[in-house]
Amino acid sequence: MSYNTFGHMFRVTTWGESHGPAIGCVVDGCPPRLPLSEADIQPWLDRRRPGQSKFTTQRQEADRVEILSGVFEGQTTGTPISLVIHNTDQRSRDYGDIAERYRPGHADVTYDRKYGIRDYRGGGRSSARETAMRVAAGAVARKVLGQGVRIRAALVQVGALKVDRTRWDWDLVGRNPLFCPDPVALAQWEELLAAIRKDGSSIGAVIEVVAEGVPAGLGAPIYGKLDSDLAMALMSINAVKGVEIGEGFAAAALTGEENADPMRMQDGTLRFASNHAGGILGGISTGQPVVARFAVKPTSSILTPVPSVTRSGENVEVMTKGRHDPCVGIRAVPVGEAMMACVLADHLLRHRGQVGG
Amino acid sequence: MSYNTFGHMFRVTTWGESHGPAIGCVVDGCPPRLPLSEADIQPWLDRRRPGQSKFTTQRQEADRVEILSGVFEGQTTGTPISLVIHNTDQRSRDYGDIAERYRPGHADVTYDRKYGIRDYRGGGRSSARETAMRVAAGAVARKVLGQGVRIRAALVQVGALKVDRTRWDWDLVGRNPLFCPDPVALAQWEELLAAIRKDGSSIGAVIEVVAEGVPAGLGAPIYGKLDSDLAMALMSINAVKGVEIGEGFAAAALTGEENADPMRMQDGTLRFASNHAGGILGGISTGQPVVARFAVKPTSSILTPVPSVTRSGENVEVMTKGRHDPCVGIRAVPVGEAMMACVLADHLLRHRGQVGG
Amino acid sequence: MSYNTFGHMFRVTTWGESHGPAIGCVVDGCPPRLPLSEADIQPWLDRRRPGQSKFTTQRQEADRVEILSGVFEGQTTGTPISLVIHNTDQRSRDYGDIAERYRPGHADVTYDRKYGIRDYRGGGRSSARETAMRVAAGAVARKVLGQGVRIRAALVQVGALKVDRTRWDWDLVGRNPLFCPDPVALAQWEELLAAIRKDGSSIGAVIEVVAEGVPAGLGAPIYGKLDSDLAMALMSINAVKGVEIGEGFAAAALTGEENADPMRMQDGTLRFASNHAGGILGGISTGQPVVARFAVKPTSSILTPVPSVTRSGENVEVMTKGRHDPCVGIRAVPVGEAMMACVLADHLLRHRGQVGG
Amino acid sequence: MSYNTFGHMFRVTTWGESHGPAIGCVVDGCPPRLPLSEADIQPWLDRRRPGQSKFTTQRQEADRVEILSGVFEGQTTGTPISLVIHNTDQRSRDYGDIAERYRPGHADVTYDRKYGIRDYRGGGRSSARETAMRVAAGAVARKVLGQGVRIRAALVQVGALKVDRTRWDWDLVGRNPLFCPDPVALAQWEELLAAIRKDGSSIGAVIEVVAEGVPAGLGAPIYGKLDSDLAMALMSINAVKGVEIGEGFAAAALTGEENADPMRMQDGTLRFASNHAGGILGGISTGQPVVARFAVKPTSSILTPVPSVTRSGENVEVMTKGRHDPCVGIRAVPVGEAMMACVLADHLLRHRGQVGG
């Protein structure tokens, strides 16, 4: 069972509610003797932290990660690594409204139907705050993968506005709060998001994650496929409604000729002429970049009132006031990278276990 | 680990190669006292069987399933159900070419890189033949779900041609070999596929799976989400490159207002005015139909020669002769239904275990 | 994989080293709406706490447990319950000796051989301190089981001195720090342990755990047997070298007639005339008390020097100074109860998932 | 969940009932390119086969194993290995008696209480026949371990009669159907078993399994301990009531001085002067022989009538006629070896995955 655990050999168990005393995770199965300190994890958390631009929630979180176990004298010991972030922004306030009213598009109603109880403060367990621990675990996963594997993500679509791939600039991604690789799209998105924000509305987005340097051979048939584990991992991120690998849904419109990735030997090495497959064939990595994309829905927290019901069965209108995130897809960028890192680290250890090397 | 096992409480382990003596699966964790015989499974297999139209491979397979364990006097006993299909269409022939040449877009190269060995006959383990056992397991899963849950799938796109949802007719789906719900699209597809077939080409497709009658409360945070398990399950089907739930990738272009699913009490029951969410909120079923789609790439087995390499590192051109499947997405329709059934059965038992009822 | 995770539907993941900042665990899969607070857990921890008698280590630990997640307004929510105990007794001292010298009978040498690194402070991860979190998780498991299931354990052998079962008194167990059910044995053990302690020696012990009120039907063939899960759980406790169910090893010397548990209907209920089986047949509970015993070796920390080696390969003599535990079996009593509780809770949920009810 | 699956990276799923058409198993996670054919498995099965001496059941089973998948041109491919044995000794007979009457000491009553249905023919799923597949899987596990690891088992106690370890002769074990290492005990056991058999009675036994050549470092804290996995594996064998490692229960009566295993460097290698620990410290192998013992109860199938009840709640006397096994412990010897092999193979792959090498 894996309610709150992710991975097989590189395992991450997360816990915590948005407004509880802390959130945390346990990373189990990490190889020993990897250099690790809070300083290796904190920068990745800082990238995800809200309040960094006017287009993400203004909630202020210090998000200082602490390592409580599994590291000794600056190195991993092979025992479980416990990471914790104390919640410092727990405003004492009246939650009465949220307690009773189901916010449309949120998990309020389903948690209540399943468990008959829910921690309604700030979304409780279903809050995007949980993704901070994914980012923390992803930082450990990057250590497992080593410097030969490079994982980067970018926002490639906001609303209907897609980036132009001929203008793709990875350096730009690191220099703008929207993780946009295209200067023209960046300007368009800023305009769009300003309007969305002004309206108290929200908008969806698509994120692309690319892992370069992934060795050939990771993954396994039939239910240990690298792409199916990626699909699971990315779909588990809050608000994600779709995942695709390589050409993805666009492959449906292609012919076999158009979708083919020809191979050739070059200087004794097998090379692919293209990467429609997204770096995975038959569930196993080819050695090409692994390319995944995922779609994030517009958050349901909007200023326009939406018909809803209360816990006790009354019809109401629900409008979300307060902190507001016009495009939750933006903050999903570092989370997508982290999930890619965790999946790859898990498969690296699984592959080494079965096949060696 | 789950190389060839799928699910947690309702677990399916498949085995077998395309041209070995048999393929099979073990279904473990099935509740006791469910009526079950081969007659409950065979019709689902017959729907998937190749050779039923000119648009799927002409390979003839009897595909007679046998129950070897776990059923006594017509009822499941709660012990593992072993299902087997003997391979009757194992032509003895020369595989020399396939043994050496990597078919582009197939798993030949990755299996070889991972394992250093592969059963090259008919694709071995990576053959779509494995999906027959998913369909068999899905038939058992339907028994677990009971008659209140109805799972159906249809082809919704072939190449660039999508169905018109205003003409959707579930009855039509059962009456045409393309599982098409739209009579107009059906005619277009037949024309397109005839051309594709004549050219020795292939084309991609999109399948939609709908589960009605799913009780609210199935699924769990954070890594036991119903949608992430569905994503894993559907992405594990051969040739699938994308999975989406509800609005899916289209949600990226929507605003929060457009994507909202308003709720209202009607006659004492909570009703949703729309189902953009695809029946899942926060990873837990809402009680609405669960809607998933997945994209299948065009098969790489085409008559046009594609540059490739041999096992020993020589450049060659590879062209696929013999049996030919212009649109592998067609046969993925019953497989998608089966995976939906298995995921829901697993979550039903998991939910009952944790929460009861 | 389950390096530091235990259980399937009721899952416990523990983390932490003896002298790190904290130890903790995550309990996942717990049913919702169970009343739970620190006050439900602390008393069980207090029973296990060292320093309560002269026969256990004098290390003083406050061992105050904190609930960090999964509980809301006094009830479990169905989400992961994070429990933590901060280490307050971390004396700053010189560990140079322990760092280099392998204590015979301890995990120093094997951790080093496996991982190439170990947190040597106080035994690090291999310290019995980890068992505090098992006791905490066991307290949650008892809530899952409800008041109908009663789990108690007693020390039944210290050195060669066994209790006389005709004098068994459960009330006495709760009133003496040795958890002894026999007043005569108690006096003998106190004398023996005083001598062992004076000599700087140590001695082994046997613990018996009895669970009453366990419903018939828990467990499952073949690798989900209740007794094999108990064996795994009890053998995982530090210093345990043997586990037995019912008659256990004594069954080897019995005939089928002697070992038989006759059945009879009494007032419409099936009754067993004896319980040689220890409440389990074919891996499934019979409804009788589940009876398990486990043997704990004498701790290797003794004042007599024992030949050993250093990390760098020099021969040395190792003698354990400082805090001393003449019979680690004593503190294993509450731990054995906790493991029984966790195994039963897990199987209760698994049973309910597969079979219902 | 692991109802019928055993292991993590080297995974075995067994299926089948005693009198169904076949029994089988799926071995998943096996490394590729190991030479494997039926001829590697059959000899181990032959050792376990009943009917080889007058002291085991006279049921005649050909027990011919077939490999249905996962092997290509004489080598494992890394994909699941499906093994099957067809049941050839399915006498058509009247099971009416067994169907209604619960055999005391058997799983009849518990299966019925759990599932509400059971395949009563020959014990169904709870029959010792299932252990044939463990032996088959064990033969594959031996391939994974390689020739450097030698696993042998012997019967060390029948009834109250133990072997004299000063006379231990491994060669003798292979030359007598009782797997006895001591010529004197062998003669005593033959006499005892003849009497037991004549009386229609049965007797218990203890088996010792020894694995030599196990590399240091296998196993893992805390719930991945090598000894706790061995305990689970051995306790899961039919009729086993106790498991111990090294000194086992005898350790309870020892002092720390008596139980110590001193270490010394010899020619640059760490050596232990004794092996009270049974080759495992802190759950991790030391490099010494891994030594485990398990106790098997006397079978409950005896000629003396024992009070029991029927399915419908009537009091009856049950006496077991027909094929008779005076000491089921004998046939458990090869099964114990197989479980040791499977556990070690699993931990070898797990270790390689996490730590490499």
The answer to whether B25 touches B137, Cβ cutoff 8 Å, is yes
Report the mean per-residue pLDDT for chain D.
93
- The predicted-structure confidence for B194-246, as pLDDT tens digits, reads as follows 999 999 999 999 999 999 999 999 999 999 999 999 999 999 999 999 999 99
Instruction: Decide the pairing of beta strands C263-266 and C269-272.
Output: antiparallel
Q: How far apart are CA B8 and CA B2, in angstroms?
A: 10
pLDDT on residue B357? 72
- Among the partner-chain residues C125, C255, C270, the one whose CB lies closest to the CB of D298 is C255
Q: How many degrees, rounded to 5, is the angle at CA C357 between CA C353 and CA D6?
A: 30
- The predicted-structure confidence for D152-209, as pLDDT tens digits, reads as follows 999 999 999 999 999 999 999 999 999 999 999 999 999 999 999 999 999 999 999 9
Is the bond into D203 cis (omega within 30 degrees of 0)?
no
- Nearest chain C residue (CA) to D247: C241
- Among the partner-chain residues B32, B78, B353, the one whose CB lies closest to the CB of C9 is B353
Q: Give the mean model confidence (pLDDT) for residues D241-256.
A: 98
Alpha helices in B108-225 (DSSP H): 108-115, 131-145, 170-173, 183-198
pLDDT on residue C88? 81
pLDDT on residue B323? 65
pTM for the model stands at 0.97
The encoded tokens of residue C339 equal 């493991």
With CA atoms as reference, report the closest residue to C114 among D212, D350, A277.
D350
Q: Which residue, among A77, A84, A126, would best test binding to C if mutated, counting the most C CBs under 10 Å from its CB?
A: A77
Report the mean per-residue pLDDT for chain C.
93
The encoded tokens of residue D111 equal 């299966």
Report the mean per-residue pLDDT for chain B.
93
pLDDT at A59 over 60: no
pLDDT at A325 over 60: yes
Taking one residue from A and the other from C, the number of pairs with CB-CB distance under 8 angstroms is: 151
The encoded tokens of residue B138 equal 């899905």
- The predicted-structure confidence for B257-285, as pLDDT tens digits, reads as follows 999 999 999 999 999 999 999 999 999 99
Q: How many degrees, rounded to 5, is the angle at CA B338 between CA B336 and CA B344?
A: 105
**ipTM, 2 dp:** 0.96
pLDDT on residue C52? 63
C59 annotated as belonging to a binding site for a ligand: no
Q: Cβ of C176: how many Cβ atoms within 10 Å?
A: 15
pLDDT at B61 over 60: no
Q: How far apart are CA A320 and CA A314, in angstroms?
A: 18
Residue D321 pLDDT level (bands cut at 50, 70, 90): confident
pLDDT at C60 over 70: no
3-state class (DSSP) for residue B354: helix
Q: How far apart are CA B259 and CA D322, in angstroms?
A: 71
Q: Which residues of D touch B82 (CB under 8 A)?
A: 15-16, 22, 24
The answer to whether D246 touches D275, Cβ cutoff 8 Å, is yes
Q: Does B282 touch chain C if contact means CB atoms closer than 8 Å?
A: no
pLDDT at B64 over 70: yes
Q: How far apart are CA B76 and CA D17, in angstroms?
A: 13
In the stretch 115-174 of chain D, residues with CB closer than 8 A to chain B read: 115-119, 124-125
pLDDT on residue B29? 97
Residue B101 pLDDT level (bands cut at 50, 70, 90): very high
pLDDT at C109 over 70: yes
Q: Does C32 touch chain B if contact means CB atoms closer than 8 Å?
A: yes
pLDDT on residue A61? 57
Q: Answer whether C4 sits within 8 Å of A79, measured CB to CB.
A: yes
- The predicted-structure confidence for A2-41, as pLDDT tens digits, reads as follows 699 999 999 999 999 999 999 999 999 999 999 999 999 9
Chains with 3 or more CB pairs under 8 A to chain B: A, C, D
Q: CB neighbours of B172 closer than 8 A, spacing ≥ 6? A: B180, B181, B182, B183, B186
- Nearest chain C residue (CA) to A15: C80
Q: Does A356 touch chain D if contact means CB atoms closer than 8 Å?
A: yes
N-terminal to C-terminal alpha carbon distance within chain A = 30
D271 annotated as belonging to a binding site for a ligand: no
Q: How far apart are CA D245 and CA D208, in angstroms?
A: 10
Chains with 3 or more CB pairs under 8 A to chain C: A, B, D
pLDDT on residue D211? 98
pLDDT at B54 over 80: no
Residue D31 pLDDT level (bands cut at 50, 70, 90): very high
Q: How far apart are CA A52 and CA A86, in angstroms?
A: 20
- The alpha carbons of chain B give a radius of gyration, in whole angstroms, of 21
Residue with tokens 């509450």: C334
- Among the partner-chain residues C1, C78, C354, the one whose CB lies closest to the CB of B29 is C354
Distance of CA C348 to CAs A114, C71, C356, D100, Å? 19, 21, 10, 27
pLDDT on residue B99? 87
Q: D1 vs A27, which has greater pLDDT? A: A27
At position A65, the amino acid (one-letter code) is V
- The predicted-structure confidence for D258-299, as pLDDT tens digits, reads as follows 999 999 999 999 999 999 999 999 999 999 999 999 999 999
pLDDT on residue D55? 65
- The predicted-structure confidence for D111-136, as pLDDT tens digits, reads as follows 999 999 999 988 899 999 999 999 99
Residue C107 pLDDT level (bands cut at 50, 70, 90): very high
Burial class (CB in 10 A: 0-12, 13-18, 19+), D43: exposed
- The predicted-structure confidence for D53-90, as pLDDT tens digits, reads as follows 666 655 555 789 999 999 999 999 999 999 999 988 65
pLDDT at D332 over 60: yes
N-terminal to C-terminal alpha carbon distance within chain D = 30
Q: How far apart are CA B124 and CA B119, in angstroms?
A: 5
With CA atoms as reference, report the closest residue to D198 among D207, D190, D209.
D190
Q: Which residues of D touch A221 (CB under 8 A)?
A: 79
pLDDT at C17 over 60: yes
Residue B114 pLDDT level (bands cut at 50, 70, 90): very high
Distance of CA D301 to CAs A101, D109, D110, D121, D325, Å? 64, 15, 17, 15, 8
The encoded tokens of residue B240 equal 């699938």
- Nearest chain D residue (CA) to A8: D8
pLDDT on residue C96? 66
pLDDT on residue C59? 56
pLDDT on residue B94? 60
- The predicted-structure confidence for B302-353, as pLDDT tens digits, reads as follows 999 999 999 999 999 998 776 678 999 999 999 999 999 999 999 999 999 9
Q: How far apart are CA D49 and CA B158, in angstroms?
A: 57
| 3-state SS string for chain D | CCCCEECCCCEEEEEECCCCCEEEEEEECCCCCCECCHHHHHHHHHHHCCCCCCCCCCCCCCCCEEECCCEECCEECCCCEEEEEECCCCCCCCCHHHHHECCCCCCHHHHHHHHCCCCCHHHHHHCHHHHHHHHHHHHHHHHHHCCCCEEEEEEEEECCEECCHHHCCHHHHHHCCCCCCCHHHHHHHHHHHHHHHHCCCCECEEEEEEEECCCCCCEECCCECHHHHHHHHHHCCCCEEEEEECCHHHHHHCEHHHHCCCEEEECCEEEECCCCCCCEECCEECCCCEEEEEEECCCCCCCCCEEEEECCCCEEEECCCCCCCCCCCCCHHHHHHHHHHHHHHHHHHHHHHHHCC
The answer to whether D55 touches D191, Cβ cutoff 8 Å, is no
> How many Cα neighbours within 13 Å face the side chain of D352?
22
Residue A122 pLDDT level (bands cut at 50, 70, 90): confident
Q: How far apart are CA C15 and CA B356, in angstroms?
A: 30
pLDDT on residue A353? 97
pLDDT at C221 over 70: yes
Q: How far apart are CA D82 and CA A308, in angstroms?
A: 53
Q: List the single range of B144-153, C44-53, C220-229, D136-145 with lowest mean pLDDT.
A: C44-53
Q: Answer whether B109 sits within 8 Å of A270, measured CB to CB.
A: yes
Q: Give the mean model confidence (pLDDT) for residues A203-226.
A: 97
Provide the angle, in degrees to the nearest 10, between the axes of the packed helices B332-355 and B226-235.
Answer: 150
